[in-house]
Structure 1
């Protein structure tokens, strides 16, 4: 057993006594200990009050409420399920655009819906219920009426089944050309695939579009939207879309922002018959510079450039275009540029991937012959 040093033991007790008691013999206060005890008492008291208040008066759930005069994006859902995944994806994509323009989202649902269903939870600022109907033309007419009621900027459908069919019929009634199977979008651009998914195409976001499934995230903000239900008086629809058969069109007149191969003319073109001949023989779309349009050789919607159309063709064939900065801006997103010009130092020649230094009037009929087209002697 270790021996105890009585003197050291007595000194230890003396030090403890000094710490616990003051010179006057009264117990010393520990302010830190008292503060911690007070904080613990207050915390227990406030927690009890807060829990009791919540139990008596539940806090109202927060919601995002928008005014009626904002810009609206409409989502149309023909699903019979309450909250299908495709509908949630459409609402998420719509909010991507609506948030950029400071707008809201209207959900248009077709068929019966339980009145207790809270569509604000999945992202609807407004909801419109349309009666179930089997006639797609009548349904498209009703959707068009809702679009007019809200002055909607864009309308999104799912790509598949009846949704896609109604989307195309609605676009026809509105006089719009829809974009289909979008897999990327913003308030300005829409990206989709064509030719069996082998080619990616980007164009300005149109008024009517169908969205590919599984490409967009559902609306998840943690705060529900208002989901207010709007009643709209619907009139009997006018006669719907009629099939007029196949209409033969020319690629030469295709919209410039959708053309894949563009044949463009500048001041260096004087033989307009040869220009149209080579464009037809090559299967291209007609375009021109501002000087050509101002001179009246081509209509204004055929102008390429900063003050015309910004094109994204796979190939841009320029005859007799010197290459003003505004025109070069219009073709900067083209994949390949071919320039035909007599000036070796022209800006368009410097921009081109391939240049032919020759007179356009000689090159155009030669290309027409090589393409198998007819050239007048």
Structure 2
């Protein structure tokens, strides 16, 4: 049998045409699959430029470094992306870099992911003595903490509400047992900034606040110089990097190419008892009283921090009904670029790659067809609901739940259903209160 390699021009053409129905089948037959390099028939290494990225909604190959593919359900895309990422395990780290994320709403925010990227930069600087990134959480850690770059997870006692002194007691236990090389906290108003300053006073450290950049410097005490914002953000201050750091958002690139072990790490001495005094000397903190969360107007919440977004597109005609629906549902309003360009919504409410990237738990797209820039901006959202007349649009393909129908009619029915449910709850509470009052009156008689 001849050893000459024969080419099938038709199969080669199908292998190059990624839109052909048999494209993946032929790639598997040729032994290429999703490989980016293979040996060609002439003994030359061939490269497949289409092996990296994902297929966009318009048949165009896109590169998505976050690992989440547009045009698919978020859960399946994230799962497949996590499996495809190389797994990194550090069995015996030379030191620990601990990160205390804000985890607003129980999830890692974009600020938290940037902080984990900075921690990875500090831990991986020396290939001969690599450190491990340990994420400290008050309660259960999020499932995607491994993809964010965590080698270890220290899950402490769940602390509800505003209890900084209790958190300090738990963090001190971590300090005593592991003595991390660095403590990293987000310099934010969600709790990280306050907790970091309290911790610096407790540990006797001189921290850095407003950090936005680190520079490797062998002559520095810990091997790093850092740049921080000072004078109300008008000046940059360069100083040796201390143990305790409070960093700004975008202080480093978040991790997107690897998946780490996220091994649970337990305190051998155990968690301090709840009855343990919150402050040295047996003094509690009677001046701190948690009055609960303050109600916030959803219209005043920034899109990047909103948990529930009702977003309008070109398919919305009844704007008064849309605003009323957002008010009744308690949702933050968003919009597509078309709605903003037409003047129906302000520019700061534009969602997408050309506007604001959002990380909402629930994102409701009303009359939005799903341009690629918009799909990129909503890719971290957990649940996407689409209300649209076109069952074949790209937003419907991306959505976890799609409602095919007129936007005004669907929103009107949704508002009526919500108001009816709230009315029934109010009536039940009133009847319970009335029954309690009558019972008390009878007992008093």
Shorter-chain TM-score range: 0.3 to 0.5
Larger radius of gyration: 1
Could you tell me the TM-score, scaled by structure 1's length? Answer: 0.47
Could you tell me the TM-score, scaled by structure 2's length? Answer: 0.40
